[in-house]
Each structure stands twice: as C-alpha cells, then as structure tokens.
Chain A
C-alpha cells in the first residue's frame, strides 16, 4: 500500500469529530467524560479533603462563605477500533478491489487518528489478532499489517466464516469504548447485519459503518450469454442469465437492501455511508472520509 505525498497532505487537513465523549487513556485532543484539569469549565463541587487548593474558587468563597472547587472537562484521546470485514466477499481475488478499497480507507482513517495521537486498533473479522497502534510513526506499521493480510486463493474451499460470530469475538477485544469504524460490504441478510452491528453497540461505541460495493455487486452479469454465478462466501453456484429486465430487478433489490441497512443503522444510531470501490483508491477513500462526517 503506497501513499503519495499529495494524499498524505490531504489527510493532514482532516481532524476527527466525535459525536460523543469517551473516557480516554491519556491526554489528547478530544473532550472526555472525565472531569479534571482541562480548559473547558464543567461544574463546581464542594471542596473535599485531598482536593488541590489551587482549584478553589476564591471569588465564590468570598460571596458565599463556602469552599468550592472548579472542575473542568478533561481532553483525552479517543480509541479508534477499525473493523474490517475479512470475509471472502471482500477478500476473494475476483473481488479484490473491494478489499483494497476497504484496507486503503482503514489506512487513511488510521493516519488521521494516529496524527491526533489517538490509539488505533485494527481488527479483521475472521482474523486471529487485533493489533493496536499508537503515535504518528505507527502508520508504517498499520500499512505493513494491512499488506500482510493474505487473500484466499480462488480455488480454496470457502471457510464458511460466520460473520456474526466473528464480529462478536472482535467486539470482545475492545478495551476502551470509543469510535468503531466498521468497513464491510454489508451484503448479508439484514438479520446478520443487525447482529453484527449489535455486537459493537453492546460495547458502548460510536459506530460508523462504511459499505464498500464492488463493480460485480452493481452488475453481477456473468457474461453476455449467461454463465454461472458463485457465491463468494459459500461457493454455492447459481446458473443464471441476466437480461436487461433481470438487471433492473436486481438493481432494485440491491437498492432496497442497502436502504434497509441504512434504515436499521439510522434506528441504531449508527452512521452509515455507502461507497463504491474504484480506482484511484486514494481519491475514493478521501471522498468516503469526507462523506462520513467523522472526519472534518
């Protein structure tokens, strides 16, 4: 994965904007739920033994003859939990553009987060471990990690990945609630999508779901004279000839599915963004980041 200087300059202009505040691990750039010694005033509290006398509001004491301390909102880091759908519907060699696009988007989001000193954890559904990264220099490690994720060979037997179970196991690796960036094609039955999102919602995270669609998702036509369609997940074949009418119906069905996912996300307070995998990846990723609303 190669980033040209122009793309990096563009990414430098982005900043993270969270809707919620979280407890962070250390001092950072985001408003935290923790009260402390930040800049923004939060509340008054009665002085208790052990409080630092520097924070006593002496003006208030003069007026009320009671001792209060001023409390401020702490500014801390926010944990980024980037989840990549590692199922064959993205990693299959024939659909590789989807994976490349998803990985590139994950890398871009990591770059922005790491530049703000926010910790980033990347988890690939179906993967065995979820490494964490910290600091701007860790971006090289992020790229190296994403590059090392192998794609299954076209002839390999489908592993029958249970995406819901994989999502549940990935969610258990979340140490601190924060932002969850879930990148998938969401081309599963709605129940599975709902279960997958529910796993992360249960961890009290701000979820941003990014749907990556490939050209074959938009037009799965196997050829002008028909052919066999093979499911990327299960390897199940389906002999089908798509004429113009069938294509239109398929397009309607796909739109309806996406709309259902979008509606579910809306109800579950999940920010949903749909994008199409295309070259050049950098431009596509920046377009998606702009539309997500997480980065400004």
Chain B
C-alpha cells in the first residue's frame, strides 16, 4: 500500500506489477536486437567511412520516442491488470445548513442563520486537515454548493457566501437522504429544529442554534386575498402571532398603479392569541395594480423574531387565477401548490361556476361553464361527446407539434406505462397519440376551453419528470392563460409566462430585471411583485409571497427524527475507487498516439 495525494493506493493483483520491470527489460532487449538487424541503404558511404568509428559493443543506449511510448503502454497495461485501488484518507463530512425562513429569526448574536454559520465555520476549522466537506443549503430544496468535496478553507468560504432563503424547510427528508448516503462519513446539521430523540449514531451531529420555543415572539401575515363580492373591492388580510395574549397591531397598505403610489389609512386589528385574525382593508383606490401590506406589531424590533413575514404583496387581477380542484387528493399531493400559476380555491365543489376547474380522476356529467382540465377521467362517455376507454399499457406513437400545449414537449422522452385511450369529442383536437388512439385532446365548446388527458399528469414535480411537467404547465397556461396574478407557496419558484412575454422584472420591493428562459419561464428568488411585459405592450403583475405558517409560527417545535436507513455505514471500501479504467484509457491513448505517429511519419518522411 502506498500513500499519494492523501489517498492510499493498493493493488488487488499485485503480481501484475512485476510485468512493468519485465516489460522494461524486454523492450530494451527488443530495441537492441531491432537496432542490430537494421540495415539502411545509403549513397554516402564514402563520406561515412571517413567519420571516426566507434566499436559496436559500446553503443550508447539512447531510447527513441517509440521506446518510451511502448514502455508507457506496457506499464499502463500492467498497472491496469494489477487493478490499483485508490482509497481516500480522512473523513468526508456533509454539512447541512438550514437556510429556511425561520432561520432568519433573531437570536442572541444576530440571526439564527448567522449563528449557525458561525458554528459551522468553527466546527470546520477545528476539524482535522484530512477531513473533506460537502456543504449543503437546506431550504425548500437541498442545494449542494460544490460538486466535489472541498477542504476546510473552501468549505468555510462557501458557508460564508450562503444566504438565507425565503422558503420553507424540508429538513426531515433532506437529512434522511444524506444519512442514507454512504459517501458521507458524518453529517453535521445546523438548524433551529430540535432533534428528538437525540441521534444515537456518532455519524450525525445536530447543532441546533436556537430551538423553537414559545419564548420566541413573532407576528406575521398569513394570507392576503382580494375580494370583490359581496360589496366593494377589498383586501382580506389574515394575520397571526405567537403571543399568548391579545394585542392591537396596525396594517399599513401602500397601493401602486402605473402612474402613482397611494398609502391607505392604517387599519388596526386586534389579534387574538394563537388564532388567525382576518382584517378587511377597504376602500381601495380606483386604479391600482398592486399593494404592499405591512403589519406593525407592538413588539419592539428586538423582540419580533422574523421581519420578512411581516409584509405581503397582492395584485389586482386575481380572480382568474383561482382554480377549483375536484380530486380525492389534496393540492399538495398533486403538487399543485408548487405551480404559481393557479390558486386552489376549493377541493370539493366549485364555489363559482365561472371558476376554472381541474378534475382529477373524477367523472363529469355536464360540460363545465369555465375552462377545465380533465385528467384521467374514469372510463365511459364524456360530457362533450367522445369517450374514455379502460386503462391499458401504451406506447407514444405520434403527436401534433403545432398545438401550443406541445410547445417544448418531447413526447419521445415520455415514459407512461399506463394510460386511458380517448375518443376525442368533435369539438376537440387530438394532440398526443398512442398506437391505439389519442391520449390527449384539447378543444373549445361554447367559448370555453377544455383539455382531456388520458395520461396521468400529476403529481407536478418539476424537474424530476420534466416532459410531463412542461406538458402540464403548457396545458394550464393554454387553459387559464388569462390569469393575471399568482402567489407562490414555495420560493424560489418558477413562473410560467405567456408566449409573447418580452421582459420580466421585479417592481417591488425594488426594481430588478429577471432573465427569461427559453421555455418562457422565469425563476423568482424572493417575495415581491413581478411585472411581465408582453409584446403587445400590456402588463401583467404577479405577486409572490412567502407565507409559511410552519416557518413563521415559532411556537411549533416540529422536531426532526433521524432514522438511519438500511444503507451500509460508510467504510473505506465504500469510497475506494478502482483505477484500472484510467490506466486502460491511458494505454489506449498511447497506442493511438503511436499509430498516428507512425502513419504521419510514413506519409510525411519526404518532407525531411
């Protein structure tokens, strides 16, 4: 065994290493024999005879390039045959920093997040030099900050560059994922969640910078919506607090239109202890595009734990973004909460017959009066005509690229083991076909758009199934494209944009342009108001809020339980790496180089 660059290198078949010196000796012999049998025809022997002669036996061994190439080839092959194994020395630690919204709560020294960073930095600095780290930021998504393990200095740099997100945490799943990953010797978690029961394994170290307790006080806006019925236009604001006693808070509203901003009279609300309190803000200005709401609590700046959740944005045209869901599953289970295009209004019955519908695996008796998406309807007739067959195994055969629903969709990448073949209504156009018939139909009946999908489009999980996700987003955009506003429940979020979008920018809290992706989406990193400019010159406003009760309600302990799965504990062999592919590649490259060199020499010798 040999140590090199912090790795221990051993050979599985060390006898093959003997091939290297044997090859060296053999090559020297071959080259000497090859040299002595060489005869070269010359025209200048009369000149060569006059040169001082050296006895043949005292020839200096000056290996040519070919000798070195052949030696390298044999040595590479012998090393590959010896099957060298590199084992990384030192521990590999996964460092997970909770960067969710609740980590922004005030602590004794700065925020909880700042405390966590300080602790992580200190722990890394105290670790041994051979330890390598992979730093993760845990919020809505688990973000790996480096593709390869880094040393102490770089890890500290990465931690210091970390920023707090406005998302909620999914720490339970993220910790489980990292615990069961055998490539990490240890997992260091820096969070504000308590760990119950304390982890038994020495692999897991949880550093809770500030556990959520009832001593943390926070007031936050839980929901904002615009209502026009009954009566005049008004804003409904739901607020909550963690205080044990009631108190009066003030809500300030600043509404902006394209031309001016107007501050509304402050509304005072008596907040009940540990209860949701809704306040109505009215009257609103005649012309406004979006409003910024801020709640001011009697708590002092030092007592109020989280300030980010004290504000919210709302845009004017919100009625069309409300969609009714009819499904036995919740919007969360269907992943609809991840789609900022829509707001789920009801899960049982449509509150308003003019509200768009998403019907998932349920039957529909009459054609709806609003845009509707029918996903995996039960077998039988459809209300627009046409019918649905029983579920069957299918293969995607062809599709209609021209329909907006198929924009950027590559159906050849779809993996749909089972689907329901449709017979499309007369008013609908088949878009996606299996060998047995259409799988997706889209049409318009009595001025109302509808789409029927014989394949399961849910749950929406973004990049995990990108083709299905794009198909679903396209379908929703096509059906509900006149929706003007949105509110996201998981920041950062991806907002699908209308086709003819030319520019997107934050107009609140500050002006900030955002790049548009080729798929006509935009990634919004934080709460605020997005202004979408269309080719026609029209504007759309999207409000993005970070309403996370689980994050804002600091009285909820929400402990994390770590269960080490069936994954084997990390061992040295788990990170051992076989080196023979490298040596085989090297041998191949050397052989190719030698062949190329010989060919070029044969073709170009006249150039001498």
Interface residues in chain A, defined as those with a beta carbon under 8 Å from any beta carbon in chain B: 89-90, 92, 94-95, 97-98, 154, 185, 187-189, 214-234, 236-241, 243, 246, 249-250, 253-254, 257, 276-279
Contacts and interface: CB of A to CB of B under 8 A. Distances in A.
Interface in B62-81: 62-64, 67
Interface of B: 31-32, 34-54, 56, 59-64, 67, 604-608
Contact of A236 (B34, B45, B53, B607): B45
Contact of B40 (A227, A253, A254): A227
B61 A228 contact: no
Given A215-B606, A243-B62, A227 B37 contact: yes
A224 B42 contact: no
B382 to A, nearest CB: 74
Contacts, number: 131
Contact of A217 (B39, B42, B52, B604): B42
Given A240-B53, A253-B51, A223 B38 contact: yes
A253 B47 contact: yes
A216 B42 contact: yes
A90 B606 CA distance: 15
A212 B505 CA distance: 76
Contact of A227 (B38, B46, B48): B38
Contacts of B53: 240
A232 B42 contact: yes
Contact of B45 (A214, A231, A246): A231
Contacts of A257: 47
A226 to B, nearest CB: 5
Nearest to A246: B51
13 contacts: A187-B43, A188-B46, A214-B43, A216-B43, A223-B40, A225-B35, A230-B41, A240-B48, A240-B53, A241-B54, A250-B48, A253-B50, A279-B606
Given A95-B41, A214-B43, A227-B37, 13 more contacts: A154-B41, A187-B46, A223-B40, A225-B32, A226-B38, A227-B40, A229-B39, A231-B41, A238-B49, A253-B47, A257-B47, A277-B606, A278-B607
A220 B34 contact: no
Nearest to B38: A227
Nearest to A249: B51
Contact of A230 (B39, B56, B604): B39
Contacts of B35: 222-227
Contacts of A218: 608
Contacts of A97: 606
Contacts of A236: 45
B43 A222 contact: no
B606 A224 contact: no
B59 A215 contact: no
A279 B600 CA distance: 13
Contacts of A89: 43
Given A97-B606, A215-B605, A253-B51, A226 B42 contact: no
Contacts of B608: 215, 218-219, 276, 278
Contacts of A154: 41
Contacts of B43: 89-90, 95, 98, 185, 187, 214, 216-217, 231-233
A215 B604 CA distance: 11
B47 to A, nearest CB: 5
A241 B38 CA distance: 11
A216 B67 CA distance: 22
Nearest to B50: A253
5 closest residue pairs by CB, A with B: A225-B35, A227-B38, A89-B43, A231-B45, A279-B606
Contacts of A250: 44, 47-48, 51
Residue of A90, A219, A240, A277 with most partner-chain B CB within 10 A: A240
A189 B43 CA distance: 11
A225 B36 contact: yes
A32 B150 CA distance: 90
A97 B41 CA distance: 13
A220 B42 contact: yes
Given A215-B605, A250-B47, A243 B60 contact: yes
Contacts of A185: 43
A216 B40 contact: yes
Contacts of A249: 51-52
Given A241-B59, A257-B47, A278-B608, A230 B42 contact: yes
B44 A187 contact: yes
Nearest to A234: B45
A257 B46 CA distance: 11
A291 B286 CA distance: 95
B315 to A, nearest CB: 74
A223 B34 contact: yes
A225 B38 CA distance: 9
